[in-house]
Amino acid sequence: MNKLLLHPAAKPLVFLLCLLPFAWMVYGAFTNGLGANPAEYLIRSNGDWTLRFICIVLAVTPLRVMTKWNGLARFRRMLGLFAYFYVVLHLLSYSWFDMGFELGDIAKDIAKRPFILVGFTGFLLLTPLAATSFNRAIKAMGAKRWQLLHKLVYVISGLGLLHFFWMRAGKNNFNEVFIYAAIIAVLLGWRVWNYASKKISATPAGQGRPQLSKR
């Protein structure tokens, strides 16, 4: 599997696979295949794919550690950039179809509706991650600072989930929300467990245990 993941054709293939949802939306737009409300379809679909790609990004490290498929690491930044690509499309679809690119109305709507404010905050936090997803940024920032910045993806995943929850609350439809919540909880829970395991294994034998008095 590592040989396949490290193959020169692997990255272009994953890139094309990541573009398939966008290609399907473009095809649907030109063939009137987006349903009765194309604007709502585009807004919702791009939002859904943003959350899916965030879950995929969070899944890379656990899969790499558990399967020893170290070649997965080379796709993580590209997958993160696709999460940003779809959130930009999500924001553009909302700004265009719902608000007609009226910046004043958009600002008022963001301030007025909490679920949009949460989603916009997630977009703002994701922006510096996308802007620093290249090797020069890592060298300029230093690996530790870069890694610390990119831990914001954990906060972003929570904000994306809350945005999705509030959006579905209006229709009292939480089935998909629970699925995403379970996936994100497992992926973040694994990180807590893995961190705790490393801490325990790094502790010298006997350290932290109460010492018996010699008196």
The per-residue pLDDT for 207 is 55
List, for residues 71-117, the tens digit of each pLDDT value: 999 999 999 999 999 999 999 999 999 999 999 999 999 999 999 99
Sign of CA dihedral 137, 141, 144, 145: negative
pLDDT confidence band for 205 (50 / 70 / 90) = low
List, for residues 102-114, the tens digit of each pLDDT value: 999 999 999 999 9
In this prediction, residues 146-157 reach a mean pLDDT of 95
The per-residue pLDDT for 212 is 45
pTM above 0.95, yes or no: no
List, for residues 119-133, the tens digit of each pLDDT value: 999 999 999 999 999
The per-residue pLDDT for 18 is 98
Placement of tokens 């924001």 in the chain: 91
Of 141, 204, 196, 179, which is closest to residue 51 (Cα–Cα)?
179
Write down the domain spans for the chain. 2-191
Of 71, 51, 49, which is closest to residue 60 (Cα–Cα)?
71
